[in-house]
Amino acid sequence: MGRLTISGQGFKTILSATFVAGALDIIVAILVYAMIMGKTTPSRIILSIASGIFGKEAYSGGTAMVLTGLVLHFFIAFLFSVFYYFLYQNVASISGKRVTSGILYGIFIWVVMNLIVLRIVFPAMPAPELQAIATGMSIVIVAVGIPISYIISAGSRRW
């Protein structure tokens, strides 16, 4: 059986990956969807995260619900960082292949979030269009998958 423990240094590495990936993801999402495309607002992006738990009430929850959405966002980034940490420890083929691993992990994260989690939480949600898939997946690969891969890989030298 593989290693399923987290050392103190490993936990610090996971927290670093969580902070960087979580921050990059929300910043890029706001830049792309709110500022460049003009499809929404920054607070609505964060409120949509909170709505995964609180439903439509999240959109009338004000600052407290925006903060809740941010906490949930970083919690999700934490879970994906932990999962990659364990993958990195136990799957020899990803060691040393940071870009490839990051791209594949970003695709994995997008699939899990968009085709599993969001479908469970919002069953009436329409299937994404090809352009939305390409945009969303690109954001997750660049802002989440690759940073997690690089940070966990770099941190592994200190475990």
Short-list 143, 146, 157, 159, CA closest to 97: 146
Print the domain residue range for 17.
8-156
**Per-residue pLDDT, 158:** 64
**Per-residue pLDDT, 9:** 92
Share of the chain above pLDDT 90, in %: 82
Give a yes or no: residue 103 inside a domain: yes
Average confidence (pLDDT) over 62-71:
96
Report whether pLDDT(91) > 90.
Answer: no
Give a yes or no: residue 3 inside a domain: no
pLDDT tens-digit series, residues 10-64: 999 999 999 999 999 999 999 999 999 999 999 999 999 999 999 999 999 999 9
What pTM does this model have? Answer: 0.91
Give a yes or no: residue 45 inside a domain: yes
Asked if 23 and 16 touch (Cβ cutoff 8 Å), the reply is no
Give how many domains the chain has, as a whole number.
Answer: 1
Give a yes or no: residue 2 inside a domain: no
Q: Which residues, 6+ apart, have CB-to-CB distance to 148 below 8 Å?
A: 17, 21, 80, 81, 84, 102, 105
pLDDT tens-digit series, residues 103-134: 999 999 999 999 999 999 989 989 889 999 99
Give a yes or no: residue 84 inside a domain: yes
d(CA 17, CA 147): 7
Give a yes or no: residue 1 inside a domain: no
* Residue 31 C-alpha from the chain's centroid: 16
**Per-residue pLDDT, 32:** 95
